[in-house]
């Protein structure tokens, strides 16, 4: 089995580690414009060898795990180079632009659009970890546009990694993910900015920060190179989500200015049901 | 040694557990308006017996760990009842109102104003855990207004629990904590509200939420009864912090509308330094 990983970072690298564990006979080739990442990935045993896009004709799987703007350019090129039985998947956080980019490609049926909802705030080959996908949701878009035998092959791999499969059309994916993922990243980045700006001359103040602050700003460690193109590709949905968030924050501020503490209590109590929602997440496997 | 805990929840209860472990000879009395909490705390071995405010004359330590509005009323009453060598401390998230409430009390020197920066999003006696305070910062305000011998006694206890002590005036405490704690709670509650409102008819959508969303909304599980009076007492600072946060989110949204992706990248990259700041938090002990 020959696996090609294009973009050897957190997601691609973690998939490489899982595939090595699941299929000891697999050979994993890595392709990355950053040569240091290729060397690092080999040293970390995340991949076996460096690969080339012109070799893809013999690939069983090609995993495209690059920033979503790069994916728009790389994915058609990958499809141009693959063999008849190769299955290609892409793992980015936006699905509609990528599905549109390959909609009319002659090898469209060799492609499966996925979004494994897994990750950490870290990036690069050293961020790769085993079992990252175990128990996580993998959203698959336009499954009917992938050849049936290749769907099966991909689903077997995802299920071996412990993933739970959900099907969704790409526009719905992008709409909902703006709320449950993209908005969280912006809220976290802007929270970090607000506090850093306020306390810029008083580094000691961060001694006052507890685990609550840390949890809330964790995503502000994320990679700008990965996230800028996500926000660009999902601009309309992200702007709408941000507008809703800003409106809710503004209303909360107004309640505070007007000393409406009963309403503030009720607001918080009503959001407390997120407890059950998050508990639901944990038992979903 | 006789310890009285008034308000047996996450903070008071966790202190009880640590004191039991550190001083096996200590007897711990609990006082709580919620009789179920008293029973639960005895069953969980967080306290030994129910106590009464009229017994405080023999107390070595009195820990006041009630919502901050209740503290304004309870603390003077506690000071009215204590003995000459009793040391009282309060652990809430606002310090200026509490210091003002007892500024002219005849027993002011028996009181030490503290804010242990520790906690979880849970509440009640069942939320009490051991070692909650180990490695955490305890902010002490107006230390010079506490009798020297009683300061020593309190500091010994805090240090035995593993806490790192920082001194600060109450107004500065309330100003900075609005940014590094209170704002995080509002950002989290309003993020939860925005997503719940958008997805109210589509519970399944939360399957799309990953660990990033979970981390960012964790604080939205917090107790409204605890947080409403904190926001009330620190209203001016919290409103200012919220205004800064809303302005930053609005600016980010405008950059997105205007397709200013280089500026968006730079914004995120500049906030990425929160990594080093948070790492600094971890080595602070």
Query: Chain B: residue nearest A273 by CA?
Result: B221
Q: Shortest Cα distance from A250 to chain B (angstroms)? A: 7
State the average pLDDT over residues A89-105.
98
What pLDDT shows up at residue B91? 97
pLDDT band for position B285 (cuts 50, 70, 90): very low
State the average pLDDT over residues A159-167.
96
pLDDT above 60 (res A44)? yes
Per the structure block, which two tokens stand in for A209? 């920060």
Mark yes or no for CB contact B248/A193 under 8 Å: yes
State the average pLDDT over residues A43-68.
97
Instruction: Please give the full DSSP string across A211-268, using - where no structure is assigned.
Output: HHHHHHHGGGGS-HHHHHHHHHHTHHHHHHHHHHHHHHHHHHHHHHHTT-HHHHHHHH
| pLDDT tens per residue across span B56-106 | 999 999 999 999 999 999 999 999 999 999 999 999 999 999 999 999 999
User: Are B69 and B90 contacting, i.e. CB atoms less than 8 angstroms apart?
Assistant: no
B95 interaction partners in chain A (CB closer than 8 Å): none
Q: Per the confidence metrics, is the pTM higher than 0.95? A: no
Mark yes or no for CB contact B119/A211 under 8 Å: yes
pLDDT above 60 (res B146)? yes
Tokens 């063999």 belong to which residue? A83
What pLDDT shows up at residue A121? 82
pLDDT above 50 (res A285)? no
- The dihedral built from the CA positions of residue A246, A248, A253 and A254, taken in this order, carries a sign that is positive
What pLDDT shows up at residue B24? 94
pLDDT above 50 (res A157)? yes
pLDDT above 70 (res B126)? yes
pLDDT band for position B9 (cuts 50, 70, 90): very high
State the average pLDDT over residues A207-235.
93
pLDDT above 90 (res A219)? yes
* H or E segment to which residue B87 belongs: strand B87-90
Per the structure block, which two tokens stand in for A84? 């008849």
- What is the 8-class DSSP label of residue B178? I
* Phi, psi (degrees; rounded to nearest 5) at A24: -60, -20
Mark yes or no for CB contact B191/A120 under 8 Å: no
Per-residue b or e along B158-197, where b marks 16 or more CB atoms closer than 10 Å to that residue's CB: beebebbebebebebbbbbbbbbbbbbbbbbbbbbbbbbe
What pLDDT shows up at residue A201? 66
Tokens 């010079």 belong to which residue? B144
Q: How many CB atoms lie within 10 A of CB A151?
A: 17
Mark yes or no for CB contact A245/B206 under 8 Å: no
| pLDDT tens per residue across span B178-218 | 999 999 999 999 999 999 998 876 667 778 888 899 999 99
Max mean pLDDT range (A271-285, B191-205, B243-257): B243-257
Q: Shortest Cα distance from A49 to chain B (angstroms)? A: 32
Query: Chain A: residue nearest B180 by CA?
Result: A209
Separation in Å, CA A248 to CA A241, B48, B112, B116, B193: 11, 45, 38, 30, 8
pLDDT above 60 (res A284)? no
* Phi, psi (degrees; rounded to nearest 5) at A4: -115, 130
B211 interaction partners in chain A (CB closer than 8 Å): 118-120
Q: For residue B81, give every residue at least 6 positions away whose Cβ sits within 8 Å of its Cβ, in sequence order, or none.
A: B53, B54, B56, B57
A171 interaction partners in chain B (CB closer than 8 Å): none
State the average pLDDT over residues A168-172.
96
What pLDDT shows up at residue A199? 82
B235 interaction partners in chain A (CB closer than 8 Å): 256-257, 259
Query: Could you give the 3-state DSSP secondary structure of residue B137?
Result: strand
Tokens 């926001």 belong to which residue? B231
State the average pLDDT over residues B253-266.
98
Mark yes or no for CB contact A208/B139 under 8 Å: yes
pLDDT above 70 (res B281)? no
Question: For all residues of chain A together, what is the average pLDDT?
Answer: 94
| pLDDT tens per residue across span A245-272 | 999 999 999 999 999 999 999 999 999 9
Q: Shortest Cα distance from A201 to chain B (angstroms)? A: 12
A185 interaction partners in chain B (CB closer than 8 Å): 212
Can you give B187-225 as a three-state secondary structure string?
A: HHHHHHHHHHHHCCCCHHHHHHCCHHHHHHHHHHHCCHH
pLDDT band for position A202 (cuts 50, 70, 90): low
What pLDDT shows up at residue A56? 97
d(CA B41, CA A101): 61
Return the residue in B127, B169, B223, B252 with the most chain A beta carbons within 10 A, the one to mutate for interface testing.
Answer: B252
| pLDDT tens per residue across span A59-84 | 999 999 999 999 999 999 999 999 99
State the average pLDDT over residues B133-151.
97
Which is it for strands A137-141 and A111-116: parallel, antiparallel or unpaired? antiparallel
Provide the percentage of residues in chain B whose pLDDT is more than 90.
Answer: 89
d(CA A63, CA A7): 8
Instruction: List B29's β-bridge partners, or say none.
Output: B4, B49
């Amino acid at each position: 089995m020959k696996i090609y990983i294009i973009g050897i970072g957190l997601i691609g690298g973690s998939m490489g580690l899982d595939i090595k564990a699941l299929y000891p006979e697999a050979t994993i080739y890595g392709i990355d414009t950053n040569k240091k990442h290729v060397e690092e990935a080999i040293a970390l045993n995340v991949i076996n060898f460096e690969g080339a896009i012109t070799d893809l004709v013999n690939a069983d799987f090609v995993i495209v795990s690059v920033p979503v703007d790069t994916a728009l350019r790389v994915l058609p090129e990958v499809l141009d180079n693959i063999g008849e039985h190769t299955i290609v998947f892409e793992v980015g956080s936006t699905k509609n632009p990528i599905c549109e980019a390959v909609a009319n490609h002659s090898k469209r049926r060799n492609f499966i659009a996925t979004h494994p909802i897994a990750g950490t705030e870290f990036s690069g080959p050293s961020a790769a970890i085993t079992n990252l996908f175990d128990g996580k949701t993998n959203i698959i878009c336009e499954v009917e546009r992938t050849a049936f035998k290749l769907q099966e092959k991909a689903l077997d791999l995802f299920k071996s990694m412990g993933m739970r499969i959900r099907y969704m059309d790409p526009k719905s994916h992008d709409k909902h993910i703006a709320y449950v993922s993209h908005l969280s990243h912006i809220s976290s980045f802007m929270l970090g900015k607000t506090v850093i700006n306020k306390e810029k001359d008083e580094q000691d103040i961060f001694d006052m920060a507890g685990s609550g602050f840390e949890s809330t700003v964790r995503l502000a460690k994320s990679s700008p190179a990965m996230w800028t193109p996500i926000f660009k590709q999902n601009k309309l949905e992200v702007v709408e989500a941000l507008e809703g968030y800003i409106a809710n924050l503004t209303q909360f501020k107004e309640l505070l200015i007007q000393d409406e503490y009963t309403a503030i209590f009720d607001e918080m109590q009503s959001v407390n049901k997120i407890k059950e929602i998050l508990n639901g997440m944990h038992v979903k496997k």
